[in-house]
Amino acid sequence: MRDTIRLARRGLLASAAVLPFAATRPAAAEEGQVVIATWGGDYANLLRGNVDEPILAPEHLTVVQDVGDEDPRMAKMFAQRRLPRGSDDVVCLQAVRAHEANQAGLLEPLDATKVPNLAHVLPNLRTSFYGPHIYSPQVIIYNPDKVPDPPKTFTDLLDAKWKGRVGVGDINYFYVMMAAALSATGDANKVDAPETQALASKLNGNGLRLYPSTDSIGAGVKSGEIDVGLMWLARVIMWQNAGIPVKANFLPEGNVLYLSGMVVPKNAGNKPGAFEYLNAMLEPAAQQAFAAKMGYLPTVDNAKLTGKVGQQLAFPDPAPKLVVPDYDITGKLQGPTSEWWKKNIQHG
């Protein structure tokens, strides 16, 4: 009896907690509709133009985009975890957040029987719960008009000549910490090592500029506020296409991969539709379109890049060292690293 009351109370609290997200689909959502929680802007438009309309519409699958930021998406999944039916069928997440969600037991297992195109996913990007969509290595960026001798390694950024001229995205803090970990310890997963934290603090002490969004780093380079930074290669290509003077150097100690993809929550209302969506986004044509428009590399082995895109995204020779973090480790370090960053870098 006591347990029943406790469960009822917990159920009531959980129900109340998800009230703000109660604009959920009708209980009997149409089988022909899939809801995808995604970023907005170019990403959402490209999904619509290259996945939703050309591939899924002919299959009579209507796609509804639930546009928003990643953090609220994660919060929503957690809040809805005890509901029999969540509001989203597919959720777009960075790899590190997807592993965090998986560790919390929120995700549906995935394999090639459910999503056939998963068989084409590059071996180093495969997991049992994640549909990797796009990836790009983190590189040093610089303004070639103002920097004739660009920094080559993370520790080069500590040089006094770059004081106040280096910028990173505050929201990309975990990737900055992984780059610091690679430089300080040789292991991108050791974001909580004292050597990593000391190196990041030194960078901060050299007048590091923090930008609230990824786009604002490009604006910082364009306005001359910064000359150097850390960013994904894909953004460099986008900014070059937009006329911003920026070039990239691969870090010899290794380049952490920014990996973004999709997951299916365990309580997704339309799981067959969700699997179909994941399969569609892994189609070569959709992957090639994202490479051409956003500069991200395909995550599958059957989407060859040719022409200008192929040249822009071709790796130099010798091939740079690409590093896929162990997300099972980094997923657990997300919270403590966020806390450390907030107190020592933002407030440092």
Partner 1 sequence: MATTGQALRPARAAAPLLAPATLVVAVMLVAPLLLVLRFSLDRYDPTELMIETVTGANYLRFAADPFYRAVLRTTLGVAVACTVLCLLLGVPIGYRLARMRGRWKTACVLATVLPLVVGSTVRAVGWMILFARGGVIDATLRGLTGHGLELMYTTTAVVSGIVSINLPFVILTVQSAIETIDAELEEAAQSLGAAPGRAFWRVVWPLALPGITVAAILCFILAMNAYATPYLLGGPRFQMMAPLLFWEFGTNNNWPFASALALVLMTTTLVLTAAGNLLIPRRYRI
List residues binding partner 1 (CB under 8 A). 6, 10, 13, 16-17, 19, 69, 71-72, 74-75, 78, 81, 100, 103-105, 170, 210-212, 219-220, 223-225, 332, 335, 338-339, 342-343, 346-347
Compare residues 152 and 215 and give the one whose CB is closer to partner 1. Answer: 215
DSSP 78: H
Distance CA 322, CA 301 (A): 16
Nearby residues of 327 by Cβ (< 8 Å), 6 or more positions away: 95, 96, 98, 99, 127
Torsion 133-137-143-144 (CA) sign? negative
CB of 173 to partner 1, least distance (A): 9
Q: Would you call 202 helix, strand, or coil by DSSP?
A: helix
CB of 163 to partner 1, least distance (A): 15
Calculate the alpha carbon distances from 178 to 44, 57, 330 in Å.
Answer: 28, 40, 9
Compare residues 71 and 326 and give the one whose CB is closer to partner 1. Answer: 71
Compare residues 162 and 341 and give the one whose CB is closer to partner 1. Answer: 341
CB of 343 to partner 1, least distance (A): 5
Nearby residues of 134 by Cβ (< 8 Å), 6 or more positions away: 234, 259, 260, 261, 287, 290, 294, 296, 297, 298, 299
CB of 140 to partner 1, least distance (A): 21
Contact 245, 174 (CB under 8 A): no
Compare residues 209 and 247 and give the one whose CB is closer to partner 1. Answer: 209
| C-alpha dihedral (298, 70, 68, 282), degrees to nearest 10 | 20
Q: Which two tokens stand for residue 327?
A: 């997300």
Contact 188, 325 (CB under 8 A): yes
CB of 305 to partner 1, least distance (A): 34
Compare residues 60 and 347 and give the one whose CB is closer to partner 1. Answer: 347
Compare residues 76 and 293 and give the one whose CB is closer to partner 1. Answer: 76
CB of 326 to partner 1, least distance (A): 17
Compare residues 250 and 327 and give the one whose CB is closer to partner 1. Answer: 327
Q: Which two tokens stand for residue 332?
A: 């657990």
CB of 214 to partner 1, least distance (A): 13
